[in-house]
């Protein structure tokens, strides 16, 4: 009987050992618990404004805890409103391991320039010729704080990111490929896939995820309306324990935090 009690205690100890979790869901931003807002970022009326419709501003929002980024899916709804001078500059979804207070440059820097190491997907609404932008209406993949994208695609004719309407982006990372799908309602407007080894580039499989944005001589309010993030299960931890019943294989699984 005593052996059974010791065995049960050992199993319980393993069961409560810390495993990094990471899944979350913000149906809106009436609460910003678990987020750090930097620079010009604010939340009001359930809407997260990463940067306001004022010139030469920059903002960022990151989760306050790091998450597993070896494989994941994230979906967010966003829009650009209150345009000044045609609207500028753009929004990014950024992955970086340094901390939740990161904030990059304004203007064409998208609130991302200088954040390194990092990987980002940009939703760009201003044509910066010196940065080799393909247009004032494109998405791209950026790395290590550079706003010269390593991959881009233009938004098809008939669609404009800064038209004030709500867009939905779904970003999947699996098998070493980062795939961004951009929707208007239920219509898939464009897709951008790029091969990148995120853990190798970051030097870690855990990182902070969030958004950056900026304005310059033109401006717009860059707003996020909802956001979910689901990491894939981490590589299984296999623990062997010896006891009266012989060797036991213990498999840990991650938890998901719903918010």
3-state secondary structure 113-159: CCCCCCEEEEEECCCCHHHCCCCCCEEEEEECCCCCCCEEEECCCCC
Q: For 162-191, write each residue's pLDDT tens digit.
A: 999 999 999 999 999 999 999 999 999 999
Write the DSSP assignment of 168-199 as a string of letters. Answer: EEEEEEETTEEEEEEEETTEEEEEEEEE--HH
Q: What is the pLDDT of residue 12?
A: 40
Q: What is the pLDDT of residue 20?
A: 53
Give me the mean pLDDT over the 196-220 stretch: 98
Q: What is the pLDDT of residue 10?
A: 45
The conformational region for residue 117 under phi > 0 = left, psi -120 to 50 = alpha, else beta, is: beta
Integer Cα distance of 164 and 154 in angstroms: 18
Q: What percentage of the chain has pLDDT greater than the value 90?
A: 78
Give me the mean pLDDT over the 234-254 stretch: 47
Q: For 96-117, write each residue's pLDDT tens digit.
A: 999 999 999 999 999 999 999 9
Judged by average pLDDT, the poorest of 50-54, 135-139, 240-244 is: 240-244
pLDDT band at 236 (very low <50, low <70, confident <90, very high): low
pLDDT at 146 over 80: yes
Q: For 191-202, write each residue's pLDDT tens digit.
A: 999 999 999 999
Q: What is the pLDDT of residue 244?
A: 46
Q: What is the mean pLDDT of the chain?
A: 87
pLDDT at 241 over 60: no
pLDDT at 235 over 90: no
Which one has a higher pLDDT value, 240 or 235? Answer: 235
Residue 161 per-residue DSSP state? T
pLDDT at 132 over 70: yes
214, two tokens: 């900026």
Give me the mean pLDDT over the 206-217 stretch: 98
Give me the mean pLDDT over the 66-95 stretch: 97
Cα 2 to Cα 5, 6, 9: the distances in Å are 5, 6, 11
Q: What is the pLDDT of residue 130?
A: 79
pLDDT at 128 over 90: no
Which one has a higher pLDDT value, 61 or 10? Answer: 61
* Fold category of 20-233 in CATH: Jelly Rolls (2.60.120)
Q: What is the pLDDT of residue 215?
A: 98
What are the E-state strand segments in 57-127?
58-63, 67-68, 72-84, 90-96, 119-124
pLDDT band at 64 (very low <50, low <70, confident <90, very high): very high
């Amino acid at each position: 009987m005593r052996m059974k009690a010791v065995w049960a205690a050992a199993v319980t100890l393993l069961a409560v050992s810390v495993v990094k979790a990471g899944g979350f869901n913000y149906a809106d931003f009436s609460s910003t618990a678990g987020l750090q807002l930097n620079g010009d970022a604010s939340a009001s009326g359930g809407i997260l404004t990463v940067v306001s419709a004022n010139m030469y501003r920059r903002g960022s929002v990151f989760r306050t805890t790091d998450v597993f980024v070896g494989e994941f899916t994230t979906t967010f709804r966003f829009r650009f409103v209150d345009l000044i001078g045609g609207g500028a500059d753009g929004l990014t979804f950024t992955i970086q391991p340094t901390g939740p207070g990161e904030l990059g440059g304004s203007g064409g820097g998208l609130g991302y320039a200088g954040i390194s190491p990092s990987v980002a997907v940009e939703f760009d609404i201003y044509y910066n010729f010196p940065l080799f932008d393909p247009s004032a209406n494109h998405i791209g993949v950026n790395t290590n704080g550079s706003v010269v994208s390593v991959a881009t695609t233009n938004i098809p004719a008939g669609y404009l990111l800064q038209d004030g309407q709500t867009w939905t982006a779904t970003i999947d990372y699996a098998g070493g490929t980062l795939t961004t799908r951009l929707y208007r309602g239920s219509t898939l407007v464009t897709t951008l896939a790029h091969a990148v080894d995120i853990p190798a580039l970051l030097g870690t499989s855990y990182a902070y995820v969030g958004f950056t944005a900026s304005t310059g001589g033109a401006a717009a309010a860059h707003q996020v309306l909802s956001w979910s993030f689901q990491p894939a299960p981490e590589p299984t931890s296999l623990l062997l324990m010896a006891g009266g019943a012989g060797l036991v294989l213990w498999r840990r699984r991650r938890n998901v935090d719903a918010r």
